[in-house]
Amino acid sequence: MDLLKRLWQLRPLVGEKRQHLMFLSNYLNRTKLRKIKLLINDNRLSFTLSSLGLSKDLGKDLVFPTLELSVPDKKLRAWVDTVNSELVSKIEESMFDDFATKAEEVLPKFVAPKLHGLTTIKQAIALQMFAKEKLHILLLGDPGTGKTEFLQSVEKLYPVTSFGLGSGTSGVGLSVTVKGNKVLPGLLPMANNGICIIDELNLMKKEDYAALYSAMEKGFVSYDKGGSHYRFDANIRLLATANPIGDKFRGNTRDAIVRQLPFEPALLSRFTLVFLIRKPDLKTFIKIAEDIVDKSDKKLSQGDIDFIQHYITYAEGIEPKFPKRLKQLVVEFARDIKLQEDKLFFDVSPRLIHGLINISKSYAKLKLKDEVTKTELEKAKILIMLALENKLESS
């Protein structure tokens, strides 16, 4: 009987089952395929059709076979889950190279998708998700312009984030959380190697800025208690919102706007990109009303979120180089913006040049490229100038 059972398990699959196994052979090794065949013949496993659940913007939503357990078996369940997860990952990876050719155009659409316009900000935030370090963004503007929606979408899309309110943080809460005798990572180190999101940064107490500066510049925070010194890595990118002094911008001149900025230059200069967002004029408001109707049912599907998160994680294995042949273009840009400094909304500092290089690398990484070209550098220059001059559409 044992021999007959063994021969039965080893018999070839036929028909649809054979086609499904052949599909899996493109992604799984022979050992797994052999085990799957035995378990299918033994009626302990079956095939079921699945998909990634992608919207058409991300790519063709391929229908493919996955494994389904036919008997109650905890150990086998764990194995099936592992194999299915590996299969999905490899199918996604097979799509990444094709997606990379349109990622620059597509991904910003998934940042605050219900908001009308503000495409420059959406593009900048999409790039921030691919930056390796110190690409900090501040959204500074009137209440009711959708600033928080940007934060919420990044919290959904990016694999590693922490979210806090400027009014609800403190020096201790930013650096660490103290529970009895335990000292645990706070808001900033919780986002280590990720994005720390702070809404209404203007409500944060000034005495708490030291921890923020340390994370933004040095990549760590520290805390001393009872003779003990604690240090936590906090290599973050900061995405924050703030309202102007008096809550709403009044006036359009540079001097009028600068007087209403709620932060001192020491903090503002640490942000790579600062965007001013104004209330919409009548024409824009009508367009927003039309978009609200068109996009009222638009939601990020879990399939889209998973695909984007996995693409970001995959891209993190790429570290684009910045070639020396582009050095002169960087020097010329630095000279040009320094000459225009008195016409810009924000001061120009060497941090901005680091930001230019980081944004250039983010453009390359977004497209899974291992080296920055003049194209990425030129796009980074345009983005920085748009932020410095704040030539943005209203929300």
- Superfamily for domain range 103-317: P-loop containing nucleotide triphosphate hydrolases (3.40.50.300)
**What's the average model confidence in pLDDT over 85-92?**
96
**What's the average model confidence in pLDDT over 348-369?**
93
Listed in sequence order, the DSSP H helices in 169-301 are 171-175, 187-190, 209-217, 254-259, 265-268, 282-294
- Please give the residue that has the higher pLDDT: either 345 or 143: 143
pLDDT at residue 290, rounded to an integer: 61
Report the candidate in 11, 9, 33, 8 with the shortest Cα–Cα distance to residue 22: 33
**What's the average model confidence in pLDDT over 50-55?**
94
In this predicted structure, the answer to whether residue 391 has a pLDDT above a threshold of 80 is no
32 — alpha (psi -120 to 50), left (phi > 0) or beta? Answer: alpha
Q: Using CA atoms in the order 293, 295, 297, 298, what is the torsion angle rounded to 10 degrees?
A: 180
pLDDT at residue 179, rounded to an integer: 80
Is residue 160 within 8 Å of 188, Cβ to Cβ?
no
Cα distance from N-terminal residue to C-terminal residue, the chain: 74
Q: Which residue has the tokens 């009044």?
A: 250
Report the candidate in 81, 78, 99, 89 with the shortest Cα–Cα distance to residue 27: 89
User: Could you report the per-residue pLDDT of 281-320, keeping only the tens digit for each?
Assistant: 656 656 665 665 555 556 778 999 999 999 999 999 999 9
Percent of the chain with pLDDT over 90: 59
- Give the containing element (helix H, strand E) for 221: strand 220-225
**Exposure string (b/e) for 240-273, b if CB count within 10 Å is 16 or more?**
bbbbbeeeebeeeeeeebeebbbbeeebbbbbbb
Taking the alpha carbons of 117, 120, 123, 125 in that order, is the dihedral positive or negative? negative
pLDDT at residue 207, rounded to an integer: 81
Is residue 117 within 8 Å of 295, Cβ to Cβ?
no
Provide the whole-model pTM. Answer: 0.89
**What's the average model confidence in pLDDT over 96-100?**
95
Q: Which stretches of 4-120 are assigned E, i.e. beta strand? A: 45-51, 63-69
In this predicted structure, the answer to whether residue 260 has a pLDDT above a threshold of 90 is no
Angle at 330 between CA 329 and CA 332, to 5 degrees: 65
Query: Hey, what are 265's tokens?
Result: 């230059």
pLDDT at residue 242, rounded to an integer: 94
pLDDT at residue 1, rounded to an integer: 46
Least confident range from 145-149, 193-197, 377-381: namely 145-149
* CATH 3.40.50.300 segments of the chain: 103-317
Average pLDDT of the residues of the chain: 88
pLDDT at residue 354, rounded to an integer: 92
User: Could you report the per-residue pLDDT of 202-248, keeping only the tens digit for each?
Assistant: 988 888 888 999 999 999 998 887 778 889 999 999 999 999 988 88
**Exposure string (b/e) for 364-387, b if CB count within 10 Å is 16 or more?**
bbbbbbeebeeebbebbbebbbbb
